[in-house]
Each structure stands twice: as C-alpha cells, then as structure tokens.
C-alpha cells in the first residue's frame, strides 16, 4: 500500500535536504477520538499540514505551533484551489525536506481524490505513505447503533456516491456518468451512499425506477460522530418527506438497517411528542 522506498527525485530543487515522504492521512469522520494513533503522531510532528474542509478544527489544532496549516478544501471561501495546485504544493514542500501531512476526512481512499495525488507524487518521484482512517459510512452506521451486515438480511456492502462531477475543468473524484442502479438492486445489499445531495428526490426516483423496493429502510446521518450529529429514519417510499439535512451527510439503505431504523424512528417520534422538534433536523 505504501510507496516505493525513498527514491526522491530532486530535479528542479535547490535545497540540500533530500525530499521527505508525504503522508496521506485519513482522520476519520470528525470525532478526534476516532483518529488512529499514527495519524495523531504524524499531525503532531508535521511541518506542513494540508487539509480538506471536512477536517474538524479540533484535529487541525493538534498541529504543532510551528506547523504551516493550509486549507486546500474546495469550499474554503477563497479562490477555488484545483487538484493540480494541491499536488504541486505538496511536491514543493516535500522537496524542501519538510514533514508533509495531507489530511483527508474519513479514509483517504474513499472518494478522497487519493489516486490523483498518488499519481502526482509518483511522477514527481516523491515517496508517500497512506494512513487509513474511519470512513464516514462506517462511522454513520456505528453512530446510529447499526451493523452494516446481518447474516439474515445483508451479505454485501456497496459503497457508492450519489454525486457525479459536472466540472469538465477539474478531475473530480468520480466519473461524469450516472449510476446504473438497475445492476445494483438487490435484497441482500446494504448501500452506503456518500454525497447523496440535499434534494433526495432524484435519488429516490432513480432507486425506485431501478427496482429497489419501496419498503427498503433508509437512514440519513448528518455530521456523524460530532456533537452536531443528526439522523433521520425513513423508507425509500417516504424519502421525499425527509427534512433537508445539513452537509456532510450520508445515506444508508438496506434491510440490515431495519433494527436501527425502528429505533431512530421511535426516538424521533418521542422527541416530537415531547415538543423537542427544534432539535430535529429541518423541523426547527
Ligand atoms: N474520504 C471521506 C469521504 C469524502 S467525500 C470518508 O472516507 O469518509 C465527502 C462525503 O463524505 C460527504 O459529502 C458525506 O457524504 C460524507 N461524510 C464525510 N464526513 C461525514 C460525516 N461526519 N457525517 C456524514 N457524512 C460524512
């Protein structure tokens, strides 16, 4: 999984120090306690930290006072940073011999543009190492008290994105094609749908058109593992009634989620009966 040995190319570098290794680190879904010990150590020791928008402030604050911390997220309110610029900045920092840590939410290899960064580092002759993290889908299931598999009802997990890039000027994390849900419809699968979108109706329509059964249990989890976590339980047939839930959110779908679906539904009903609607997503 990790890179080739230090065969750092110093072409174009005026530094005397050899290029350092770049660490491509997953930091989990938000809760700092879900960091691996390795991620923690690397963040503490980094000279330069490049991070995405979704990396939480508590995690970024672990960096040493001398560290240069750079938000290379796409939504950081500044000029849009392209993937090519991110790659270049990592390569330049590594060639200066700095400890470079690239932080990505969840696991770096799940919808994290990791492949493009690996390609760029490989072409530049920069060594790298990948540090896995807890991906949002796994964290979301845990946070609603659910298993993703159940030998009675769910023997497959399908990890998929609901979003496909339409930006021809950038190389997005997914191909610009719609999902072929028809090939995926099945009773025994649990779907983890990243980036389901704010408006869930197109996804609902696609799934129903593809033959997914209307009574399929659905759970939507927003900001899993953080104090701002919210969840919603429904069925595919009623998905269009789900409140607009804040990003980042993830949608879980499948029979294996039935138990958690009932428990979350019961909690929501109790909260509504107790008049605690304002704490529920979209019901404020
Ligand atoms: N590499 C990340 C995914 C990045 S894509 C991982 O492994 O988790 C970004 C998408 O991940 C978001 O749109 C959302 O669908 C999901 N996501 C990330 N963090 C989340 C969180 N704390 N709660 C719910 N969904 C999250």
Over its length of 284 residues, how does the chain's per-residue pLDDT go in tens digits?
444 444 444 444 444 568 899 999 999 999 999 999 999 999 999 999 999 999 999 999 999 999 999 999 966 455 678 999 999 999 999 999 999 999 999 999 999 999 999 999 999 999 999 999 999 999 999 999 999 999 999 999 999 999 765 444 444 445 546 788 988 988 899 999 999 999 999 999 999 999 999 999 999 999 999 999 999 999 999 999 999 889 999 999 999 999 999 999 999 889 888 876 544 544 33
The CATH number assigned to the domain with range 18-134 reads: 3.40.1010.10
Active-site entry in 74, 150, 188, 206:
74
Q: Whose CA is nearest to atom 6 of ligand 1?
A: 106
Pure H helices in the chain: 37-45, 57-60, 83-95, 114-124, 136-143, 201-209, 258-273
Q: For residue 15, count other CB atoms closer than 10 A to its CB.
A: 11
Q: What is the structure's pLDDT at 273?
A: 85
- Ligand 1 centroid to residue 195 C-alpha, Å: 7
Distance CA 256, CA 147 (A): 7
- Ligand 1 centroid to residue 200 C-alpha, Å: 16
Q: What is the structure's pLDDT at 70?
A: 96
- Ligand 1 centroid to residue 73 C-alpha, Å: 13
Q: 215 catalytic, yes or no?
A: no
Atom of ligand 1 nearest to the CA of 137: 8
Q: Which residues contact 54 (CB under 8 A, 6 or more apart)?
A: 30, 73, 105, 106, 248
Which two structure tokens, joined as six digits, stand for 49?
A: 């930290």
Using most ligand atoms within 8 A of CB, pick from 59, 250, 251 the residue to mutate for ligand 1. 250
Q: Whose CA is nearest to atom 11 of ligand 1?
A: 194
Which pTM was predicted?
Answer: 0.88
Side-chain-side CA neighbours of 255 within 13 Å: the count stands at: 14
Using most ligand atoms within 8 A of CB, pick from 26, 28, 106 the residue to mutate for ligand 1. 106
3-state DSSP assignment of residue 102: strand
Phi, psi (deg, nearest 5) at residue 60: -65, -35
Q: Which residues line ligand 1 (CB under 6 A)?
A: 29-30, 54, 104-107, 110-112, 135-136, 140, 194-195, 221-225, 247-250
Atom of ligand 1 nearest to the CA of 109: 1
Give domain limits for the chain. 18-134, 137-279
Domain 137-279 class, CATH top level: alpha beta
- Ligand 1 centroid to residue 248 C-alpha, Å: 6
Q: 150 catalytic, yes or no?
A: no
Active-site entry in 31, 52, 104, 107:
52
- Ligand 1 centroid to residue 46 C-alpha, Å: 24
Distance CA 37, CA 54 (A): 20
């Amino acid at each position: 999984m990790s890179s080739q040995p230090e065969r750092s190319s110093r072409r174009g570098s005026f530094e005397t120090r050899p290029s350092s290794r770049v660490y491509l680190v997953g930091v989990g879904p938000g809760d700092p306690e879900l960091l691996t010990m390795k991620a923690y150590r690397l963040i503490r020791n980094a000279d330069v930290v490049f991070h995405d928008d979704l990396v939480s402030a508590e995690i970024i604050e672990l960096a040493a006072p001398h560290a240069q911390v750079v938000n290379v997220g796409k939504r950081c309110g500044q000029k849009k940073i392209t993937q090519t610029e991110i790659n270049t900045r990592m390569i330049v920092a590594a060639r200066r011999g700095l400890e470079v840590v690239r932080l990505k939410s969840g696991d770096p290899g799940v919808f994290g543009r990791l492949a493009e960064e690996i390609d760029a580092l490989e072409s530049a002759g920069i060594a790298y190492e990948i540090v896995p993290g807890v991906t949002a889908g796994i964290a979301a299931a845990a946070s609603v008290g659910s298993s993703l598999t159940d030998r009675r009802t769910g023997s497959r997990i399908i990890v998929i994105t609901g979003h496909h890039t339409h930006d021809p000027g950038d190389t997005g994390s997914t191909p610009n094609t719609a999902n072929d849900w028809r090939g995926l419809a099945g009773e025994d699968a649990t779907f983890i749908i990243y980036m389901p979108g704010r408006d869930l109706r197109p996804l609902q329509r696609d799934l129903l058109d593809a033959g997914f059964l209307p009574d399929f249990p659905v759970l939507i989890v927003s900001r899993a593992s953080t104090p701002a976590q919210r969840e919603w339980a429904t069925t595919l047939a009623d998905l269009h009634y789900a409140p607009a839930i804040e990003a980042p959110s993830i949608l879980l779908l499948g029979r294996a989620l039935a138990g958690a679906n009932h428990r979350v539904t019961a909690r929501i009903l109790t909260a509504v009966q107790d008049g605690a609607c304002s704490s529920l997503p979209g019901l404020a």
